[in-house]
Structure 1
Amino acid sequence: MARESARLMREEQKKRDARRRWYWRGGIGVGLIAVAAIVAMVVVGSVKPPSPGPLNMASDGVLMQGDGTSITAVPTAATAADADPTPTDVSALTSTVNITVYLDYLCPYCGQFETTNGAQLSSWLTAGNITLETHPISILDQSSNGTKYSTRSANAAACVANYQPDSFVDVNAALFANQPTEGTDGLTNAELVSLVEKAGVTDASVSSCITDQEFGSWVGDATDRALAGPLPNTDVKNVAGTPTVLVQGVQYTGALDDAAAFEAFVMEQATATGDTGTDTGE
């Protein structure tokens, strides 16, 4: 009897062990399903749907012009979500030299170009000698300690283009005058709001646009388009670095800190294409 009892106890123990193994395997299966569901939710949540672009940036850039006394933005409709941008029709700009700049507000070389040439560009622009199309993009988000300053500052510029576009040149200059160093957090959203207000922005919608990052997704889309190319109105295939500066569609590859060299290049391209609106007044 003792042997039979022992045998029965061993068989019952085996059954209990088997049930535990099945429960354990089932638990793993349920756990894996739960993990997979969570991962799927995170992935789906991180893929943001395309969003409309800002007003006055149908080309992914804002085009500024001057009339001899002031600078204004050329108005355009907003690009619809999922729609391709509309390149600027440079054939309608035959009386000016057309300058296009792709930039990142955290890029020190962009800051160098602006510091060297910003006043000169503004002077030419006011006089009506050039048009200036600025494309803010974000290629240095990884260089601001996780705060995505490149995207946030480009969004701030887009907010100005959308709500108070004639202030864009002043805000662009202010962003570079207060440019943070790579590897820092950059300006907070509150500081960006203060910066644009000090630069002359009075429309309250710009503040909430910056805080809510209204055009953050669009900045990412516009950046992807610039990096993938092709760039319109030029033989340059894509943005390979910032700043990418185009004069009459020809890329400037000279020194970024040499205003005389840049002016000579602008005059060279103006002469090559026969434009007559290029007198710098010097």
Structure 2
Amino acid sequence: MTNRPEGDARAERNQRRAAARERAQRARLQQKRRQRGLRLGLQIGLGVVLLAAVTVVTLVLVDSTKPAGPGPSSMSQGGITIGQDLKAVSASTSPQPSATDGADTVRITMYVDYNCAECADFVQTNNAYIRGLVESGAATVDIHPVATLSNRSQGTKYSLRAANAAACVAESSPDQFFAVNKALFAAQPEEGTAGLTDAQLTKVVTGVSGVQSGSTITKCIDEQRYGKWVDERTTAVTGGDIPGSDLTEWPGVPLVLVNGQRYEYSQPFTNDEFRTFVITAAGSGDATPTPTPSASPSASAS
């Protein structure tokens, strides 16, 4: 074995150390580049997430501040007026819902929530009587669906959805609204439950005899076309803007007015009590409403 000079061995060791240092330096540089790339990727990803979040929040804020579209053409004041033969009265020809001044026709105004058990009781007790008055031309009835109990249906907002369904009928088949109003109360779920689905609501309202434009009403319910409008009308009414009365504070549902006078009912509801109130509010003489025979308590409302 040939012995190399000590200087050559030292030089070789130095070369190996230098090569090792160079490899370590390259490794450190590569690691730094990877870390910089990772940080950059995280920053870009976080920026994208933040931008998406800002966009969503902006869209929500814009949508929440955007005014509701117009309500049904037959509900310019938030309610639909039903007149003789149970036909809807055109909003352009219907008088503004306010207290009348000795008018021959009695004006009944009802604010109802389709998730309100007391509203259902009132309608069940007095619907036939009101129907007889309206059919004969002795009275008109303004029906205002509101959604004051939307928070009592396990998050499904049943009151709002049912009022929207009623508004869809008011737009597309207004002459059947009186019957649909009764049908919605007949199908009323128990308070505190999730209520009917949109499909079940559609079945109820389109199943009423004479309802027209079923496909249009179905689409309207599915889209909740008047949901935002119902919400805005409910906010206005509960805030004290109550067409048909001089009230400035919302008393709750059901709110029933006759010629602008509030019906202070007792419970259980009785038709005799309501009849007496209607006659008193209408005055005496020729203006006293005389219902047709079909309006008697024993008659069944169709």
- Whether these two folds match at TM > 0.5 is yes
CA drift of 1:210 comes to 4.1
CA drift of 1:169 comes to 1.0
CA drift of 1:65 comes to 1.4
- Alignment match of 2:216 (pick from 193, 208, 219): 208
CA distance change for structure 1 residues 219 and 181 in 2, over 3 Å: closer, same or farther? Answer: same
CA drift of 1:278 comes to 2.7
Matches within 5 A, 1:1-282: 32=50, 34-66=52-84, 70-76=85-91, 87-88=96-97, 91=100, 94-203=103-212, 205-213=213-221, 214-259=225-270, 260-271=272-283, 276-281=286-291
User: TM-score of the superposition, structure 2-length normalised?
Assistant: 0.73
- The answer (yes or no) to whether the contact 1:109–1:243 under 8 Å persists in 2 is yes
- The answer (yes or no) to whether the contact 1:102–1:239 under 8 Å persists in 2 is no
Structure 1: how far apart are the matches of 2:110 and 2:233? 14
**Which amino acid in structure 2 is aligned with residue 65 of structure 1?**
G
How many positions carry a matched residue from both structures?
269
CA drift of 1:110 comes to 0.5
Structure 2: how far apart are the matches of 1:49 and 1:209? 23
CA drift of 1:240 comes to 3.1
**Which amino acid in structure 2 is aligned with residue 253 of structure 1?**
E
CA distance change for structure 1 residues 123 and 36 in 2, over 3 Å: closer, same or farther? Answer: same
**Which amino acid in structure 2 is aligned with residue 209 of structure 1?**
I
* Equivalent position SS for 2:287: coil
User: TM-score of the superposition, structure 1-length normalised?
Assistant: 0.78
CA drift of 1:249 comes to 0.8
The superposition leaves residues 5-51 of structure 1 with CA deviations (integer Å, 9 ceiling, x where unpaired) of 9xxxxxx9xx99xx899998998777655533432233334545420
CA drift of 1:177 comes to 0.9
CA distance change for structure 1 residues 59 and 97 in 2, over 3 Å: closer, same or farther? Answer: same
* Equivalent position SS for 2:165: helix
Aligned to 1:83: none
* Equivalent position SS for 1:73: coil
**Which amino acid in structure 2 is aligned with residue 212 of structure 1?**
C
Identity of aligned residues (%): 38
CA drift of 1:255 comes to 1.6
CA distance change for structure 1 residues 93 and 169 in 2, over 3 Å: closer, same or farther? Answer: farther
CA drift of 1:258 comes to 2.7
* Equivalent position SS for 2:286: coil
Aligned to 2:299: none
Q: Which shows bigger deviation, 86-95 or 115-124?
A: 86-95
CA distance change for structure 1 residues 210 and 221 in 2, over 3 Å: closer, same or farther? Answer: farther
CA drift of 1:263 comes to 1.4
CA distance change for structure 1 residues 147 and 114 in 2, over 3 Å: closer, same or farther? Answer: same
- The answer (yes or no) to whether the contact 1:152–1:210 under 8 Å persists in 2 is no
Unmatched 5+ stretches in structure 2 = 1-20, 22-28, 297-302
- The answer (yes or no) to whether the contact 1:137–1:223 under 8 Å persists in 2 is yes
**Which amino acid in structure 1 is aligned with residue 278 of structure 2?**
V
Structure 2: how far apart are the matches of 1:191 and 1:72? 26
**Which amino acid in structure 1 is aligned with residue 198 of structure 2?**
N
- The answer (yes or no) to whether the contact 2:112–2:145 under 8 Å persists in 1 is yes
Structure 2: how far apart are the matches of 1:32 and 1:116? 57
CA drift of 1:90 comes to 5.8
